[in-house]
Amino acid sequence: MKNSTPDRPIALIVGASRGLGVAVATEYLRLGYEVYGTVRSDAHTPLHDLREAGSDGLHIERVDVTSTGEIAALHDRLAAHLRGRAIDVLFVVAGVSLAPQDARAIDMSDADIVTTMLTNAIAPLRVIEGLDDLVGPDATIAVMSSGQGSIGRNETGGFEVYRASKAALNQLMRSYAARRGTDRPLLLMAPGWVQTDMGGNGAPLTVSESIPALVATVEHQRGIPGLRYVDRHGEPIPW
């Protein structure tokens, strides 16, 4: 791992290997951040391609967010490397969707349901809690949610377990905010339906139409305490 750069703000992007995550990492590098991006395994990813292309200030760490042991190990590696410097932006992007749009929850396997719920709802809270002492007191914490996590806007159905996992994430973040009473900005971000491996080629938005606006919204919310559930333009989404 390269030495850190003391005069640059730090962004930790959890789940940055490809898709939305590597796009978020790219945008923070463009904004002048020192970026720590995580991948799930040792396999080569688009995030590695970004580093090999000469991106200055990009560090790659490995963590499986469903493993509390790996989260703890990531904490220790980051603490040793940062040497007292605080993370300015923690953005948890990691997520999965393991069934097609028309799949019914009752037809999914127990294993796929558990993996979806653990990855999308529980793991982000474990990451936030597990890395808490490395994050600055006025830092921004963002988690990639989805408009499909809105209970109030669900009038069409579809993606049943994925929707439920994002609604659970939103509820857990509300509980976290109430329990901690934090002054940090806490953001649940909905990027829109985006053309990625998970979103599919038929999605209406490209990554370049979603992520720069989304990161700009996160940056605009810095210093504003409290939990918000918003789209990529900063517009509130009904819970």
Domain CATH code at residue 116: 3.40.50.720
Residues 111-124: tens digit of each pLDDT: 999 999 999 999 99
Domain presence at residue 55:
yes
Domain presence at residue 215:
yes
* C-alpha torsion sign, points 130, 131, 137, 143: negative
| Res 227 pLDDT > 80 | yes
Residues 12-27: tens digit of each pLDDT: 999 999 999 999 999 9
Domain presence at residue 4:
no
pLDDT score recorded for residue 183? 83
Exposure class string for 196-223: b at 16+ Cβ within 10 A, else e: beebeeeeebebeebbbbbbebbeebee
pLDDT score recorded for residue 194? 84
Domain presence at residue 63:
yes
Domain presence at residue 239:
no
Question: What residue numbers bound the domain in which 142 lies?
Answer: 10-231
Whether the pTM exceeds 0.85: the reply is yes
How many folded domains does the chain comprise?
Answer: 1
The SS3 assignment for 176 reads: helix
Q: CA distances (Å), 236 to each of 114, 138, 140, 150, 199, in order? A: 29, 22, 17, 11, 22
| Res 92 pLDDT > 70 | yes
Domain presence at residue 5:
no
Average pLDDT over residues 144-157: 96
